[in-house]
Amino acid sequence: QSALTQPASVSGSPGQSITISCTGTNNDIGSYNVVSWYQQTPGKAPKLVLYGVNKRPSGISNRFSGSKSGNSASLTISGLQAEDEADYYCCSYARGSTLYVFGTGTKVTVL
Amino acid sequence: QVQLVESGGGVVQPGGSVTLSCAASGFIFSTSAVHWVRQAPGKGLEWLTVISDDGDYKYYADSAKDRFSISRDNSRDTLYLQMSLLRAEDTAIYFCARESVVGDVFDIWGPGTMVTVSS
């Protein structure tokens, strides 16, 4: 099972919106509405920011939103803030013995 | 507060073994499935294995199924990962993560423990 494909980096200015794509196959994203997104800052553990494609855990800003179409999912951060600078990983449930597959990760830079 | 804390990492020789622990607190451990996820230095996240709340079901990634073994002791609120025949490519931070009640989501993560495989 290969990792989901994400752009290596995305950048934006404060206040702008950015979108991170996550491309899989019909063995993962395409077959299940079980896509989650994690934010990771240097030296820290990942933190859940979205699940079930577009649901936000308690305490996560409504500036984070998600969607899915076919074999791809995306995370949009609106009103970009300096604190959003981090690495972001998508994750999907997958068909096969490897139950979960993560994305390659995207570094978000706030200019 | 709800937390997971890993321990047991360190430097291990190639071909050696190590057992990692993950201590849970702040929630009813015996009602949650828990996972291990690793991250090689400068690399992305890789899911390794999961164990059901009662320990009856275990699933492994292809990269883990032959050399890693997950277990838990609900009386001690602790998760374990036994790793054997370690290789340089197993060098990584190992995180334990709780599966959310909604399923298939990792809602609580430990800070991780570093395993370095080197002679």
DSSP codes, B46-90: EEEEEE-TTS--EEE-TTTTTTEEEEEETTTTEEEEEE-S--GGG
Q: What is the pLDDT along chain B (119 residues), one digit of tens a residue?
A: 999 999 999 999 999 999 999 999 999 999 999 999 999 999 999 999 999 999 999 999 999 999 999 999 999 999 999 999 999 999 999 999 999 999 899 999 999 999 999 99
Measured in residues, chain B has a length of 119
Which two three-digit tokens encode residue A15? Answer: 């206040």
Mean pLDDT of chain A, nearest integer:
96
Residue in B closest to A1 by C-alpha: B62
Of A3, A48, A99, the CB nearest to B44: A3
pLDDT at A47: 98
Taking the CA of residue B24 as centre, how many other CA atoms within 13 Å lie in the half-sphere pointing to its CB?
A: 25
CB contact under 8 A, B107 and A48: yes
Smallest Cβ–Cβ distance between A89 and the set B35, B44, B63 belongs to B44
**Chain length of chain A:** 111
Whether residue A3 lies within 8 A of chain B, CB to CB, comes out as yes
Q: Which burial class, exposed, middle or buried, applies to B48 when counting CB atoms under 10 A from its CB (0-12, 13-18, 19+)? A: buried
Query: Is A101 an interface residue toward B (CB < 8 Å)?
Result: yes
Cβ neighbors of A105 (< 8 A, separation 6 or more) are: A6, A8, A87, A88, A89, B44, B45
Do A37 and A88 touch, CB atoms closer than 8 A?
yes
Residue with tokens 């200019």: A111
| CB-based contact B107 A91, cutoff 8 Å | no
**Is A51:A64 a contact under the CB 8 Å cutoff?**
no
